[in-house]
Amino acid sequence: MNQDYRFYMGIERRGAISSDLCSGFIGQSWDSAMTIFEDVCECLDAAGTVKFRVGGFGQREWPVDVATDLPVVLGQLGDICETVAAGSQSGEIDFYEQGIERRVSLEPLRNGYNVGCVSGTSWSPNPSMIWQSREEVSAVLRHMRDGFLSILSRAAPWLSSDPIVCAWADRCAKLQE
Percent of the chain with pLDDT over 70: 97
Instruction: Name which residue leads in pLDDT, 174 or 138.
Output: 138
Task: Answer for the pair 97, 69: CB distance below 8 angstroms, yes or no.
Answer: yes
Cα separation, 147 vs 141, whole angstroms: 10
Average pLDDT over residues 28-54: 94
Give residue 65's identity as a one-letter amino acid code. Answer: D
Give the CA distances from residue 41 to residues 4, 44, 48, 49, in Å, rounded to whole numbers and listed in that order: 26, 5, 10, 10
Read off the pLDDT band of 82 (50, 70, 90): very high
Q: Which of these, 63, 61, 57, lies nearest to 1 by C-alpha position?
A: 57
- 46, pLDDT greater than 50: yes
| pLDDT level of residue 31 (50, 70, 90 thresholds) | very high
Domain spans in the chain, listed from the N-terminal domain onward: 8-166
pLDDT of residue 166: 95
- pLDDT at residue number 119: 97
The per-residue pLDDT for range 103-136, each reduced to its tens digit, is 999 999 988 999 999 999 999 999 999 999 999 9
Beta bridge partners of 100: none
